[in-house]
């Protein structure tokens, strides 16, 4: 890198931080936000920063700080980025404000679909949806004469054929890194078998027929995945795909764009997306629907809230979406679903539709219990029945400590 180029770039970046380029107004109230750090958040916060006086903190471990930071008075951040999981503690503690009046004032361009309502009040503005979808190497499947798989049964059969043909290292990729990712796989599959997580009295209900079937299916997948699957998160699966090591995976929709990134991928144009497979005939795709969006703190002045909402609208405008069309499945007006989004949209619009990930205190506890107890089953230390019992027991202990159960 030549010094001249460095100096030039430095000068440009200095200019960029002072002048407000693409913003329609100049923001004069100092504002801060705390959100997760993936591509879509980068796009939105960059668009917001163009208005000036705004600092974004992008941190994937934001959930550690967010509830406490919003509870401080005044709140340490005016704007928060949440998903349907992480909005729960903020709603429970009453640290985010209803946005109805602000939507009326600035929200003309918002889609009714974007307004997250709790008991009629608008509590958050959604910007994107995320879900899992089936990604597969079209070239391999058509070479071997395999139909596009629509159920997990099909996936296993196809995996068997690919294994026999030996065209890739492992037929399947799976995001089964122990902890949150692995638990999410169970959370996807279990409702697909018609299972519920809780009884009416908040006790756990996973020790059921659906629970057994879910575990069986998960274990069946292991025959076709990388033996190191218990350390593989979505980035790892994405890399395996890019390097042509796997042929199929049920992966997050936000990962689709990476398949066609010529700088990283060796399989550009060869990966196709379809709806997440169903677990049983006539069931919904075995996945959950997620949304990501923004909230505004209650412990700030109304003037700050006003400025914060206005800035949010600037970040969620059409220009931002046009510039970052493939970064997410946007809910914002102006989004043009490309071929990469086909699978996610097919998943979300399937009948019956997959359920949204439940935003409840119990679900958080259940997710942790699943993440801690499932690995012992997959490594073969414990059988399915004992695992389900252990999950229920771990959940019960945690729920009693959290005050959800007596």
Partner 1 sequence: MASKAMRQSVGLRALSNGFLAFWCLLASFPILWITVMSFKAPRDAFAASAWDVITGPETRAAGNGLSVLDIIVGITVLYFTIRWAFGVLPGLVRQVFPSSLIVLGWLVGAAAYAIAFIIVFFGILPPVLGVLNGLLGPLGEPIIGLTTIHYYSVWVENAFFRNFLNSLLVTAGVVTISLTVGTLAGYGLARSGSNLAFWLLIIALVFRALPHSVLVAGYLPWFINSAEILRPLLGDISPTLYGQPWAIIAVLVAINQPFTIWMLRSFFQNIPSELDEAARVDGCSHFQAFRRVIMPVMWPGVITTGLFSFLLGYNDFLVTSLLLDAQNQTMVPAIAGYFNRETTTTDQVEAVAAAVSIIAPLFLLVMVFQRQIVSGLTAGAVKG
Partner 2 sequence: MKSKTFFWFVAPSVLMMLVFIAAPLVSVLIQSFQVTQPVMQTVETETCTPGFLTQTCTTEIKTIPIIDEVTGKPQTTTEWVGFLSYQRVLQMDKVWAAISAGQWGDILQIDFWKALRFTLTFTLLTLPLVLGVGLAIALAVNSAVQSIRGPVIFISLLPFIITPVIGSLAIYWLFVGDGILTVALENILERDIAMFAQAWTIEILMYVFRVWNNAPFAFVIFYAGLQTVNMDTLESAVIDGASRLQRLRHVIIPHLMPLIIFIAIIHLMDVYRVFEEIVGFRSQAHVISLQWLTYDFLVPDDAGNRAISRASASAMLTMIGIVILLIIPLRRTWRDHKGGAH
92 binds partner 1 (CB under 8 A): no
C-alpha to C-alpha distance for 330 and 325, rounded to whole angstroms: 8
333 binds partner 2 (CB under 8 A): no
Which among 165, 128, 123 is positioned nearest to 144, based on CA atoms? 165
| CA triple 268-269-270, angle to 5 deg | 95
Q: Where are the beta strands (DSSP E) in 199-328?
A: 246-252, 271-274, 290-296
H/E element holding 274?
strand 271-274
69 binds partner 1 (CB under 8 A): yes
395 binds partner 1 (CB under 8 A): no
Segment interacting with partner 2 (CB under 8 A) among 37-45, 51-59, 154-162, 349-357: 349-357
378 binds partner 2 (CB under 8 A): yes
**DSSP string covering 153-219, please?**
HHHHHHHHHHHHHT-SSEEEE----TTHHHHHHHHHHHHHTT--SB-TTS-B--SSHHHHHHHHHHH
DSSP helix/strand/coil, 38: coil
Out of 48, 96, 126, 340, the residue judged to bind partner 2 by CB under 8 A: 126
Q: What is each CA distance from 274 to 168, 298, 352, in whole angstroms?
A: 20, 41, 16
For residues 252-281, which are near partner 2 according to CB under 8 A? none
Segment interacting with partner 1 (CB under 8 A) among 55-63, 192-200, 215-223, 375-383: 55-63
Q: DSSP letter for 289, please.
A: B
**DSSP string covering 325-361, please?**
GGGSEE-STT----GGGHHHHHHHT-SSPPPBPP-SH
73 binds partner 1 (CB under 8 A): yes
| Residue 3 interacting entry, from partner 1, partner 2, none, C-beta within 5 to 8 Å by type | partner 1
356 binds partner 2 (CB under 8 A): yes
36 binds partner 1 (CB under 8 A): yes
The mark string for 164-183 relative to partner 2 (x by CB under 8 A, - otherwise) is -------------xxx--x-
208 binds partner 2 (CB under 8 A): no
Least Å from the CB of residue 362 to partner 2: 7
Nearer to partner 2, 26 or 302 (CB): 302
C-alpha to C-alpha distance for 87 and 72, rounded to whole angstroms: 17
Segment interacting with partner 2 (CB under 8 A) among 139-147, 159-167, 205-213, 352-360: 352-360
368 binds partner 2 (CB under 8 A): yes
Nearer to partner 1, 12 or 200 (CB): 12
288 binds partner 2 (CB under 8 A): no
C-alpha to C-alpha distance for 375 and 178, rounded to whole angstroms: 6
Residue 121 bridge partners (DSSP): 118
C-alpha to C-alpha distance for 339 and 387, rounded to whole angstroms: 40
Residues that bind partner 2 (rule: CB under 8 A) add up to a total of 73
At 101, list the tokens: 């009046």
Segment interacting with partner 2 (CB under 8 A) among 12-20, 275-283, 305-313, 361-369: 361-369
Least Å from the CB of residue 8 to partner 1: 10
CA 301 to chain centre: 31
361 binds partner 2 (CB under 8 A): yes
C-alpha to C-alpha distance for 93 and 80, rounded to whole angstroms: 14
Q: Where are the beta strands (DSSP E) in 84-151?
A: 115-118, 121-130, 132-137
Least Å from the CB of residue 23 to partner 1: 20
177 binds partner 1 (CB under 8 A): no
Segment interacting with partner 2 (CB under 8 A) among 18-26, 48-56, 222-230, 259-267: 222-230
C-alpha to C-alpha distance for 68 and 336, rounded to whole angstroms: 38
For residues 213-242, which are near partner 1 according to CB under 8 A? 234-235, 238-239, 242
Nearer to partner 1, 206 or 258 (CB): 258
Interacting residues toward partner 1 by CB under 8 A: 1-3, 6, 9-10, 13, 32, 36-39, 55-61, 64-65, 68-69, 71-73, 76, 234-235, 238-239, 242-243, 252, 254-255, 258, 261, 263-264, 266
């Amino acid at each position: 890198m030549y010094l001249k180029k460095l100096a030039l770039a430095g000068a440009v970046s200095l200019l960029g931080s002072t002048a407000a380029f693409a913003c329609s107004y100049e923001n004069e109230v100092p504002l801060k936000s705390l959100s997760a750090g993936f591509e879509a958040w980068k796009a939105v916060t960059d668009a917001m920063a163009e208005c000036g006086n705004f600092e974004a903190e992008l941190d994937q471990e934001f959930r550690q700080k967010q509830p406490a930071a919003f509870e401080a008075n005044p709140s340490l951040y005016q704007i928060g980025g949440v998903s349907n999981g992480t909005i729960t503690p903020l709603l429970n503690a009453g640290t985010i404000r209803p946005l109805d009046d602000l939507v009326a004032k600035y929200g003309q361009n918002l889609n009714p679909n974007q307004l997250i309502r709790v008991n009629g009040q608008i509590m958050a503005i959604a910007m994107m949806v995320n879900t899992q979808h089936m990604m597969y190497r079209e070239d391999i499947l058509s070479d071997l004469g395999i139909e596009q798989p629509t159920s997990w049964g099909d996936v296993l059969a196809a995996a068997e054929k690919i294994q026999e043909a030996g065209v890739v290292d492992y037929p399947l990729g799976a995001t089964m890194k122990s902890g949150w990712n692995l638990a999410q796989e169970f959370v996807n599959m279990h409702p697909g078998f018609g299972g519920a997580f809780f009884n009416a009295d908040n006790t756990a209900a996973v020790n059921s027929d659906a629970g057994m079937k879910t575990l069986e299916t998960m274990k069946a997948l292991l025959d076709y995945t990388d033996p190191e699957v218990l350390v593989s998160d979505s980035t790892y699966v994405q890399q395996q795909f890019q390097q042509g090591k796997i042929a199929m995976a049920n992966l997050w929709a936000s990962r689709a764009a990476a398949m066609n990134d010529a700088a990283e991928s060796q399989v550009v144009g060869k990966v196709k997306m379809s709806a997440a497979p169903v677990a049983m005939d006539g069931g919904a795709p075995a996945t959950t629907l997620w949304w990501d969006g923004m909230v505004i703190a209650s412990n700030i002045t109304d003037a700050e809230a006003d400025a914060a909402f206005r800035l949010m609208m600037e970040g969620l405008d059409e220009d931002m979406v046009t510039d970052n069309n493939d970064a997410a499945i946007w809910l914002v007006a102006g989004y043009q679903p490309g071929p990469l989004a086909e699978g996610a949209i097919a998943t979300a619009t399937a009948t019956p539709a997959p359920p949204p990930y439940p935003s409840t205190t119990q679900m958080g506890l259940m997710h942790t219990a699943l993440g801690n107890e499932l690995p012992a089953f997959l490594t073969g230390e414990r059988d399915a029945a004992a695992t389900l019992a252990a999950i229920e027991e771990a959940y019960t202990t945690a729920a009693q400590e959290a005050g959800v159960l007596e």
